[in-house]
Structure 1
Amino acid sequence: MHDTSPTSLSESPEDPFSVLRSASAVLDRRGRVVAWSEQATTLLGYRADEVLGRTVHEFLVDTGDEDVVAEAARACLREHGWFGLLPVRHSSGRRLHVGFRARRVQRLDSGDEWLLVGSLAHEITQWEIDRSVLDGFFRRSPIGVVVLGPDLRVLRVNQAIARFGGLPADAYRGRRAGDFLLGPVADWVEGKLQNVLDTGRPLIFAEQRCRLLSDPQKEIVISVSAFRMEDPTGRVLGVTQIVEDVTDRHRARRRLALLNQAGTRIGSTLDVGRTARELAEAAVPELADALSVDLLEPVTRGEEPEPDSLGPLRRMAARAVRPEGVRLMHPEGHLFFFPPDTAPHRCLAEHRPVLLPELKTGSGWIAAEPERARHALEAGVHSLIVVPLAARGVVLGVVSLWRSQRPEPFEADDLTLAEEFAARAAVCIDNARRYTQQHQAAEALQRSLLPSEVPWHPAVETAHRYLPARASTGVGGDWFDVIPLSGLRVALVVGDVVGHGMHASATMGRLRAAVHTLAHLDLAPDEVLARLDDLVDHLATEQRQADANAPQLVGATCLYAIYDPVTRHCAMARAGHPPPTVLDPEGQVLDVEVPAGPPLGLGGLPFESAECELAEGSLIGLCSDGLLLAGDRDIDEGLALLRITLAGTAPSLEHTCKAVEDAMLPGRPDDDVTLLLGRTRVLPAGHVATWELSAEPTAAGDARALVRDQLAEWGLDEELAFTTELIVSELVTNAYRYAGGPVQLRLIRDGHLICEVSDSSSTSPHLRQASSTDEGGRGLFLVAQLAERWGTRYGRNRKTIWTEQPLTANGDALSL
C-alpha cells in the first residue's frame, strides 16, 4: 500500500501527480467512470468493479459541495482543463480533500472523455512548498549553493554564488569548486568536498580565510558546509555545497576575542614600561603589522603631565611583524617631539583619534624625519591609526598602528577596536604611573631616612648594600647605621620593621632616630634593645588609639653591636634578628653565639649581650632576613651561603658586597635587603696611655704630671697641655672625693685628644650653675667649657667620664 504518513510525505519532494504516486480515473461525457487505477483504489478505498459504470456523484463527491462540483464540471469543458481541490468521500465514509487535475480527451470516435488525476491535498501543498524552497535556494537565497557532480565539477549554482564570484551562473558549470579561489585554500576546499563525497559525513560550518580570483586584494572569510546527494537507491549523485561570506561575523568575533585577550594580558604588573609592551604584544599581529607606544616624559617618571602637553615623548614599546618595521620606528627609550601637522601631533593636540586609511607622500605621515617617512612607504606601510592614551581626563601619550603586510586598509571597526585597546591600556598605565609615583615617594622617604654615606671611622672599615624590594611588594622598613661613640668606639646597627609601605618607612625613621639617641647615651647593647622595645610598644599603642582600622605594627627586629678599637672588645645583642657572621683575619668563621632575644614590641622580655675579643682585620657581617631568604631559601641555608661568600677572597669590602649580591640575589628581591660589613681596626699602642691612680690626696697632682709628660712626648702644643691638665685635675679630684677607690686615667690620641677617667662609683655627675657664695660646683662647668664634648658611660662596676678636645685650636686634626 502507498505510504501516506506525514513523515514520508515531508521527506519526499517527488511530484504528487506523477504516474507512480497519483490516483487516476477516466470519465465519459455523462460523468460515468470508465477507467479506475490501482492508486485510486489505494487512495479512496473503492475497487474498480465497484465504481466502473457509475457516475461520480453516486459514490465519490460529497453532496454538501454541489456548487463546487458544478464549477469543476463546467471548467472541465474548457480547452485547458481544470485544477482544484474537491472534498471526496472515502469508502469508509470519512471525508478527504483531494487535489485534481482534469483535462478533456478527444476519442477517435469523436466522443469526449475526461482524465482525472488526483492526490491528497496536503501532499500537493508539501510538493508546492518543496518546489518553492528549491526555487528560493537557487533564485533568492542570500547564502550560496553549489551543486557538484561525482567528479566535483559544478552542475549548478544559485544567484548568491553568481554575485559572490562576479560571474553569470552559467559560467560556473563544468568548473571545479576551487577554481575561483587563490592560494592553498582552493586545495583545502577540494579536499573537504572529496571527504564528504567519499565518507558521506557532512561538513558543517568550516571557516577559512580566502581571496577570490575576481578580487585578489580583498581577504574574506567563508563558511563552508556540504552534504552528499544520493538517489532513493543509494547511488551517489554528487555533493551540495553551501557557502556563506562570514567576514563581518568573523571580524566581530575576533575583535571580541582580542578585547578579552587584551583584558587579561594588559596590566599584569604596575610597571609603565611593561604595560606598554603588553599592549604592543596584544595588538601585533592580530590588529596591526606594527605598533608603537609613546608616553609623555612626565608619565614615565610617575608624574602627571601638563594639560595639552605636546611633548617631549618617550618611546616605551615598539613591535612589528617584520624586523624592518621596528627599524623604521624610534628606538625604545628615545626622547622626541612629533612634528606639527602629523597624525600623532594632531592626536595629542586635539585629544581625538586619527584614521588614515591610505598613506601617500605628503599625506601627513607621522615620521619625525622625511627620510624615515620615505623608507616607511617603500617598506609597504599604507595605512595608519593613531589613538590617544587617555585616562581620567588626562592624555598620557599616543598609540600608533601601521599596516604594511596585509593589503586591507584600516577601517572604522579597526579604529573602534584600537580605541578600546588604548582605553584599557591607558587605565593600566595611569594606575602604574600613580603607583610609581607613590612608590618613588616612599622609596625617597626611606632613602632619606637611611645614611646617605657612611663616614670613615678609625675603629672599622665599612661597606654596605641596601636594595629596596620590587615595586609590587612596596618599600620596607629595613635600616642600617654606623654610629661613632665615645672613646673611638663604634656601633654597628641593622634593623627591620615588620611590613611594607609608607607606614613601615616612617616607623623605621623613628626607630633609627631613637637608636641614635640611645647610642649617644653610651648604653650597653642589651639596654639599647630594651628601651627600643618600650618604644615599639608605645608606637603600637599610639597607632591603635589614632586609627583602629589602620594596619597594626606587629614589631621590629634589630641587631646592635659595639666595637672598641683600643681593647678589641666587641659586645652584641639582637632582638629577633638573624645572627651576625664573624670571621677572623684568615677568613675562618668564629663561633659567636648571640642570644636571639624576642622581636621588639612584645614587651617585658629581657635581652642578653654576647662579648668577645676580635683580632685586627676581623670581619663582622650584619644583614636582614631579606638577603638570607631570597631565592626561597630557609634561614639556615642563607646563613651558610653568606658565610661561604664572605670567606672568599676579595680585594676590598666593596667587592665582597658585590660578591654577596651576585651569589645570593637571583633578581629583584621580594623584600628589602640590607647588608653591613665592618672590618675591625686596632688603635696603635703608641696612641694610648693608661695609668692606675691610687685614692690619695696627691692623685690630682700625679695625674697632671703624667698628662704633661705624655703630651710632651706626643709633641702637642702647650696650650692643649694646659687645658688638658685642668680637665684631668678636675675629673680625678671628683673621683677621689666621691668614689673612694682607685682611679684609671686614659689618654687617647687620634683626630681628637680623648681623656677618660674611670672609677667604681655609680653616681652620675651633673652640670649646674654655682651661686656666688658656693665654694664648689664649678669644676664640671669648667670642664664643659674647655672640652669640645664630654659625657658619661657605664660599664661593669665602673663609670667613665670622658672629654674630647680638637688637636688644633680651630678644631682641625693635627697631622701626626
Structure 2
Amino acid sequence: MTRSGTTGDDLPPRPEDPAAGAATARATVDPRGIVTGWSEGARRLLGYRSSEVVGRSAAVLLAGEPHAPTVRALEALPRWNGRVTLLHRDGRSLPVNLLAHRRPPDGGDGSGNGNGNGAGGWLLVAALPGPPTSPRDDEALMMWAFAQSPATMALYDTSLRLRLANKDMERVLGLPEEAMRGLRVSEIVADPQGDRTEQLMRRVLETGARQQGQVALCLAGHERESVWALSLDPVRDAGGTVRGVLLSARDTTEEHLARERLVLVNDASVRIGSTLDLARTAEELAEVAVPQLADFVTVDLLPSIEGGEDPRAGVPSSPVKLRRVAARSVLEGCPEAVVPRGVVAVYPDASPAAECLAAGRPLIRKVTAQGMTVWEHEAPERAERVRQYGIHSVLAVPMRARGITLGVAIFSRHRRPEPFTRDDLLLGEEITARAAVCIDNARRYGRERRTSLTLQSSLLPERPPRQAAVEVASRYLPASTQAGVGGDWFDVIPLSGARVALVVGDVVGHGVRASAAMGRLRTAVRTLADVDLPPDELLTHLDDLVIHLSAEADDEDSVSGDTGATCLYAVYDPVSRRCSLARAGHPEPALVTPEGAVEFLDIPAGPPLGLGGLPFEAAELELPEGSVLVLYTDGLVEARDRDVDESLGTLREVLARPAASLEDTCDAVLDALLPDRPADDVALLMARTRALDAAHVATWEVPRDAAAVAETRKNACLQLTAWGLDEAAFVTELVVSELVTNAIRYGAAPIELRLIRDSNLVIEVSDGSSTTPHLRRARTFDEGGRGLLLVAQLTQGWGTRQTYTGKTIWAEQSLSAD
C-alpha cells in the first residue's frame, strides 16, 4: 500500500505471500471515501493505473450510486463482504465478490505494517479470476489434504465401516489404511472404549448432530495409556442427507496427566495432615500416592523423630538407619514390603533411600541388571522382592521440613509399565514436602504434649491425702492428640477441724502454657485454703490472681491472649455434715443420696475466673452420711456429637446404678460418656461423705471467767480418758489451758472448746472476737507472749480461721504413736 497522496504504481505484496499482488486486487480507502492505495492486482481487475485512481473518490469505481444498506453496513461493522458491481476503465460493468476490512486508526491495514495515512479507513480485497479447474482436480486436492492433514482423522460410512484414514491415524493405530478399510472401530481397537465410540457414532447417524467424547487407550507401540478427545461429525451430501461420520481425534494425554497431577496435589492438601498423629500422617501420604502415582510406597523416618527429638544437622551417618512408619501397595497385604512397620532397618549406601538422603534431593532410579547385582550382594531379600514383583522404576524423595531431615519416601512401580518421569518427580516432591511439614508438626506437638503431660502429672495429686471426712475416687484423662493437653485439675485438701476441701478446675487453652497456669492456680488454691477462707471469698482472691496472670501473659507475649479458668470449690465438715460450695463458671456438681437418688445441685454459677468485678455466691447444704458428691470438668459432658442435656442424662443414669465402690462408679461413668479418647481433658472427682458422731466429738461452753480454765482442763482430760488417750493428756492440758486463757483474756463471748478425734486429735477454741493472735518471740522480762510459741512447739500444727460469729483457734496432735 502507499500512503495518502502518493502516486506509487502498486501496493507492495505482503512478504508472507509473494503472489498476493498478482492474484488479488487490493485497495485502501480513507474514512472520507478517497482511494489511498492501489495494487497491481487492482489494475489488472479494473484497468486503472495507480496514478489514475489514488486521491480520487472511490465512488467513480462503482457502476451506479452506492447501495444504501451497503453504506450503512460499512459504517457499523468491522468487516463486510458482498457482491458489488464495479466500473471497468473501458466502461463495462464488472460484478465482483468484495471483502472489506475496517483499518485501525493508526493507518495500518490490520497487519501492523503502517501503510496508510493514519486516519483509518478500509482495506478492500477481491480475488482475480484464475485458470479454470475441474471437479476432479478439486477432489484430488481434497483427498491429498485429508490424507496429509496433521489432524488424526478417519471417515466411516453409514454402516460404521472405515472408508478412509489419513496418515496420522495410520501412525497412531500402527496400521495402514488397507488393513483397516471395511472394519468398525470396535474391530480395529479391541477395547471397551471402541464400543463406546461406536455408540457415539450411531448417535451421530440418528440425530445428525456432532458428538464429542474422551477415550483412554493402550495402543500398540505406546509405552503408556494415552487419552484422546474425540469429535464425531456428520458428513452430508448436497441434499443434507447424512452419508457418513468423520472421526477426529486429538491426543490430550499430557493435558490429562497435568489435570491428574493437580487433582493429586489438591487431594494431598486435603487428606494429608488431618491429625497430629505422626504415623497416621505418614499413612495418609502413602494412601494419596497409591495408585495415582505409584504401585508401592514406603515411608521411613529417622528413629529419633518419633521421640520428638531434633535429629543432628547434616547428612545422616552411614549406614543409614530408618524406622518403617507406613507402607501401602496396590496388592493386598503389601507383599512387596521387606521391613515390617515399626522396625528399624539398615539401608546400604547404594540404596535409593541412602542416596537421596546423602544428596539431599529427590532422584529416579531405573532397576537394571547391574543394580540388581549390587542389591543381591548387599540386600538379597530386597533384591528378591524386586525381582518377584517386577519393580522397574523407583522414585526416592527425602522428607525435609524447616531445615531438618526427617526421613525418606520411596515410590515404586511394577504394575504401571511406564517409568517415573521428571513430572512425576516434581509431583512426588510436592506431596512429600507437605507430608514432611505435617509430620514435623506432629513431632513438635508430640514433644510438647509429653512435656505437658509430665508437668501436669507432677502437679496433680498421685493419691488423696489421709483425712476422715470423705472417701475419694478420681480420674484424669488427657485430651486426644488432636486437641492437646489442657489445664484441667482436681485436688483434695485437708482443712482444720477434720474438714476437707474438694476442688475441680479447668484452665482455658491447651499445651504447656495451660498446664503451667493450672499449676499456679492449684498452688494458689492450696495456699488460700490453708487460710481457711470461705468458698466464695477464696474464688474472689483466685479471680484476682487469674487477672494478674493474664496481664503477665499479655506483657510477655502479645499473641498469647487472656488467661481464663473455671473452678468449683467445696468445703465439707464431717462434724456438722454441712457442705459449702461456690463455683466460677463451672458445671454444676451432682449429688447422689444414700438411697441412690441423683440430683444436680443448683449452685449460683458465678462468672468464670479472670473477668473481675463480679461477686461469687456460696451455697450451703446438709449432707446425709454416705452421700456422694460428683465434681467434674466440662470435657466429661460436652461433645460435638452429643447434646449436653443428653450427657447429663447419661451421667444421672450411671450414678443411680448401685456399684461396689467409687472406683467402679468412676469407671462406669467414663465408659458411658467417653468410650473413645476425649476431645478435651477430663477431671472427675467423687467423694462419699462420712460423719463424726458424739463418740468422736466433745464440746463445752466456757464462761468468760479465769476460774473456768481449771474446769475446762479437767473436762478435756476426762474425755481423753474415755477415748483411751491418756498419753495425750499432758500436751492437751497445756494447749487447752493456753488457748482458753487467751480467749477469756483477749476474746469475746461466747467461748467454746471442742475436741475432735479422728486420725489425729484436734483441739479447737472459738470465741466471738475476730482479732487474730500472732506468734511472736517474747523478750527476757516479758510476762506473756510465750503461750502460742509453746502450742506451736508441742503440736503438729496450729492455726486460726475466721467464722461468721468470730474466730476459731485450733491445734492438732498426731496420734500415730498410739
TM-score w.r.t. structure 1 length? 0.77
Q: Does 1:557 align with 2:559?
A: no
Larger CA deviation: 382-391 vs 742-751: 742-751
Q: Report the 3-state secondary structure (helix = DSSP H, G, I; strand = E; otherwise coil) of the residue aligned with 1:324.
A: coil
2:673 counterpart residue number: 664
- Residues 364 and 249 (structure 1), Cα distance of their counterparts in 2 relative to 1, 3 Å cut: farther
Q: Deviations over 1:567-624 (max 9, x none)?
A: 3222212233222211112211357543333333444444333222322221001122
* 8 Å CA contact retained: 2:375, 2:382: no
Distance 2:683 2:135 in 1: 89
Give how far 1:516 is off.
Answer: 0.8
Q: Does 1:415 align with 2:425?
A: yes
Q: Report the 3-state secondary structure (helix = DSSP H, G, I; strand = E; otherwise coil) of the residue aligned with 2:429.
A: helix
Distance 1:127 1:654 in 2: 103
Q: Report the 3-state secondary structure (helix = DSSP H, G, I; strand = E; otherwise coil) of the residue aligned with 2:310.
A: coil
Q: Does 1:624 align with 2:630?
A: no
2:102 counterpart residue number: none
* 8 Å CA contact retained: 1:61, 1:89: no
Q: Report the 3-state secondary structure (helix = DSSP H, G, I; strand = E; otherwise coil) of the residue aligned with 1:263.
A: helix
- Residues 586 and 157 (structure 1), Cα distance of their counterparts in 2 relative to 1, 3 Å cut: same
Give how far 1:387 is off.
Answer: 1.1
Residue pairs, 1:286-301, within 5 angstroms = 286-301=292-307
Q: Deviations over 1:82-111 (max 9, x none)?
A: xxxxx99999443989xxxxxxxxxxxxxx
Give how far 1:398 is off.
Answer: 1.4
1:54 counterpart residue number: none
* 8 Å CA contact retained: 1:153, 1:173: yes
Q: Does 1:356 align with 2:365?
A: yes
Q: Does 1:209 align with 2:219?
A: no
Q: Report the 3-state secondary structure (helix = DSSP H, G, I; strand = E; otherwise coil) of the residue aligned with 1:413.
A: helix
Q: Does 1:653 align with 2:659?
A: no
Q: Report the 3-state secondary structure (helix = DSSP H, G, I; strand = E; otherwise coil) of the residue aligned with 2:316.
A: coil
Q: Report the 3-state secondary structure (helix = DSSP H, G, I; strand = E; otherwise coil) of the residue aligned with 1:433.
A: helix
Partner amino acid, structure 2, of 1:467: L
* 8 Å CA contact retained: 1:265, 1:278: yes
2:769 counterpart residue number: 761
- Residues 283 and 532 (structure 1), Cα distance of their counterparts in 2 relative to 1, 3 Å cut: same
Distance 1:501 1:453 in 2: 24
2:78 counterpart residue number: none
Residue pairs, 1:476-625, within 5 angstroms = 476-500=486-510, 502-540=512-550, 551-553=561-563, 555-589=564-598, 592-625=601-634
Distance 1:186 1:90 in 2: 65
Distance 2:726 2:292 in 1: 85
2:310 counterpart residue number: 304
Residue pairs, 1:797-816, within 5 angstroms = 797-807=805-815, 813-814=816-817
Match of 1:395 among 378, 381, 405: 405
Runs of at least 5 residues in structure 2 that lack an aligned partner in the other structure: 1-43, 50-86, 98-127
Match of 1:464 among 455, 474, 485: 474
Larger CA deviation: 337-346 vs 650-659: 337-346
- Residues 313 and 709 (structure 1), Cα distance of their counterparts in 2 relative to 1, 3 Å cut: farther
Distance 1:788 1:439 in 2: 40
* 8 Å CA contact retained: 1:297, 1:312: yes
- Residues 371 and 500 (structure 1), Cα distance of their counterparts in 2 relative to 1, 3 Å cut: closer
Distance 2:352 2:390 in 1: 18
1:679 counterpart residue number: 688
1:735 counterpart residue number: 743
* 8 Å CA contact retained: 1:572, 1:611: yes
- Residues 350 and 682 (structure 1), Cα distance of their counterparts in 2 relative to 1, 3 Å cut: farther
- Residues 469 and 62 (structure 1), Cα distance of their counterparts in 2 relative to 1, 3 Å cut: closer
* 8 Å CA contact retained: 1:343, 1:364: no
Q: Percent identity?
A: 50
Match of 2:396 among 386, 389, 401: 386
Partner amino acid, structure 2, of 1:362: M
Larger CA deviation: 531-540 vs 413-422: 531-540
Give how far 1:260 is off.
Answer: 3.0
* 8 Å CA contact retained: 1:385, 1:415: yes
- Residues 61 and 800 (structure 1), Cα distance of their counterparts in 2 relative to 1, 3 Å cut: closer
1:121 counterpart residue number: 130
Runs of at least 5 residues in structure 1 that lack an aligned partner in the other structure: 1-59, 66-86, 98-118, 808-812
- Residues 802 and 290 (structure 1), Cα distance of their counterparts in 2 relative to 1, 3 Å cut: same
* 8 Å CA contact retained: 1:219, 1:408: no
Partner amino acid, structure 2, of 1:193: M
- Residues 136 and 405 (structure 1), Cα distance of their counterparts in 2 relative to 1, 3 Å cut: same
- Residues 631 and 548 (structure 1), Cα distance of their counterparts in 2 relative to 1, 3 Å cut: closer
1:228 counterpart residue number: 234
Q: Does 1:454 align with 2:464?
A: yes
Q: Does 1:266 align with 2:266?
A: no
Q: Does 1:154 align with 2:168?
A: no
Distance 1:246 1:548 in 2: 54
- Residues 137 and 393 (structure 1), Cα distance of their counterparts in 2 relative to 1, 3 Å cut: farther
Distance 2:436 2:559 in 1: 32
Distance 2:185 2:90 in 1: 52
Match of 2:753 among 736, 745, 757: 745
Give how far 1:531 is off.
Answer: 2.1
Distance 2:716 2:193 in 1: 106
Give how far 1:742 is off.
Answer: 5.8
Give how far 1:396 is off.
Answer: 1.4
Q: Deviations over 1:660-708 (max 9, x none)?
A: 2233346554443322111122347544444444444444433444444
Residue pairs, 1:151-230, within 5 angstroms = 151-204=159-212, 206-212=213-219, 214-215=220-221, 218-230=224-236
Distance 1:125 1:390 in 2: 72
- Residues 346 and 367 (structure 1), Cα distance of their counterparts in 2 relative to 1, 3 Å cut: farther
Give how far 1:801 is off.
Answer: 1.8
Distance 1:671 1:591 in 2: 22
* 8 Å CA contact retained: 2:465, 2:493: no
- Residues 576 and 284 (structure 1), Cα distance of their counterparts in 2 relative to 1, 3 Å cut: same
Q: Deviations over 1:185-211 (max 9, x none)?
A: 33333333343344433333x321212
Q: Report the 3-state secondary structure (helix = DSSP H, G, I; strand = E; otherwise coil) of the residue aligned with 1:734.
A: helix
Give how far 1:780 is off.
Answer: 1.1
Distance 1:569 1:678 in 2: 14
1:641 counterpart residue number: 650
Q: Report the 3-state secondary structure (helix = DSSP H, G, I; strand = E; otherwise coil) of the residue aligned with 1:782.
A: helix
Residue pairs, 1:228-267, within 5 angstroms = 228-234=234-240, 236-267=242-273
1:4 counterpart residue number: none
In our comparison, the structure showing a higher alpha carbon Rg is 1
* 8 Å CA contact retained: 2:587, 2:632: yes
Q: Report the 3-state secondary structure (helix = DSSP H, G, I; strand = E; otherwise coil) of the residue aligned with 1:300.
A: coil
Distance 1:430 1:126 in 2: 75
Alignment length (residue pairs): 705
